[in-house]
Structure 1
């Protein structure tokens, strides 16, 4: 896990997501409506003025879901989702499921599979959004 000094100073979790992805936007919008039990800063990596953390690139961050914990640890993929879910009422049960033996491996494996089909799903989502 990497450390990012900037994230340690404000005490909030920085969730970095692809705001240009219709699937990502929808999921993050669901999370944003919930009152988390600690501060979460929702950072759109696709924004023109986004500056990636030291040692990372915008391209890296657009490929996978990432966050920076209040302690400065950088998490990605299933591990990052579980971190968020553990802070959202109504979603903590998923975080508890991740503690079961083999579940983090399975969740990461499923997430990597999703990343393979994500471009096609994005096209479908954009197509249906244009039809509305």
Structure 2
């Protein structure tokens, strides 16, 4: 059963780093975080290119957070035993820090590895 405060993370499932990280978040908070691969069908208000460029998260009220703010939304929902991520969210939420980290994230995100796709058929490593 999904919690009323649950969010949906639109992430790149063809990125092994993204897949691993998002899977770890869901394992820690399965009732609070749902995953949606942005390489598949998307809601009309989520642009595929933008979602591939940076993490997008739909909040419980329908708003969409992107980039570093999307990570904050996830980290703030981590259970008490994941104090490190909640602490990281509190530390990096202030605007001067968040803005710099968001710019760094947007610069690094295109450099992430991706499983190769050829003719619409994607190969994933075993």
Q: TM-score range by the shorter chain?
A: 0.7 to 0.9
Of 21, 25, 35, which aligns to 1:27?
A: 21
Which residue matches 2:51?
61
* 2:86 matches 1:92: yes
Aligned to 1:82: 72
Cα distance in structure 2, aligned partners of 1:23 and 1:88:
19
The answer to whether structure 1 residue 104 and structure 2 residue 98 are counterparts is yes
Distance 1:101 1:78 in 2: 11
Does the 8 A contact of 2:53 with 2:110 survive in 1?
no
Q: Show the counterpart of 2:119.
A: none
Match for residue 113 of structure 1? 107
SS in 2 for 1:93: helix
Aligned-residue CA RMSD (Å): 2.5
Matched, 1:12 2:10: no
Q: Which runs of 5+ in 1 are unaligned?
A: 1-9
Alpha-carbon distance, 1:16 to partner: 0.7
Equivalent pairs, count: 112
Say if 2:29 is the partner of 1:39: no
Measure the CA separation in 2 of the matches of 1:13 and 1:81. 11
1:30-77 per-residue CA deviation (whole Å, 9 max, x = no partner) reads: 1121036x6221111223xx2x22233322212210011000111100
Cα separation, 1, equivalents of 2:21 and 2:34: 15
Counterpart of 1:6 in structure 2 is none
